[in-house]
Amino acid sequence: MDGVELLLAALALGASTGVADATSATVRDAAESFRALVRRRLSGDGQQALRSLDAEGDESGVWQVRLADDLTRAGVDRDEQILRLARDLLAQARAGARTEIGHVDLRGAKGVQVGDSNIQYNTFN
């Protein structure tokens, strides 16, 4: 993943509805702080692209085209501190997405699901 792709992934974190629900408040706050940091480094087009991301979420993809050029023009894609923060943010989001269930003994079990938010229909004959 190059610098621009890394930044776009980190900026998109928390923008879509599903991600916002799945991430912790800590990750959402960190993502917002990261967007604010990048926003300070950008000029007009990049500012508009970030506003578009905030308003529309990451579904349209229009913001990515506008923002990629401005990130490069502003040199943000070469700023090691911002790139490190982007990597840390994405790692934090991945770690937060994993949940620990603990020890589960399934010996002799039938029709079992382990995890959150599962739906299962069983018919035993």
Tokens at residue 2, please? 């190059």
- Max avg pLDDT among 12-16, 19-23, 79-83, 115-119: 79-83
Stretch 15-19: mean pLDDT, rounded?
A: 50
Does residue 18 have a pLDDT over 50? Answer: no
Average pLDDT over the chain, rounded to whole?
76
14 in Cβ contact with 27 (< 8 Å): yes
Q: Which residue has 């998109």 as its token pair?
A: 12
Work out the pLDDT band at 45, boundaries 50, 70, 90: low
Q: Which residue has the tokens 């943000």?
A: 76
Between CA 111 and CA 38 the distance in angstroms is 48
State the average pLDDT over residues 11-23.
59
Which pLDDT band holds residue 79 (cuts at 50, 70, 90)? Answer: very high
Residue 75 has pLDDT above 70, yes or no: yes
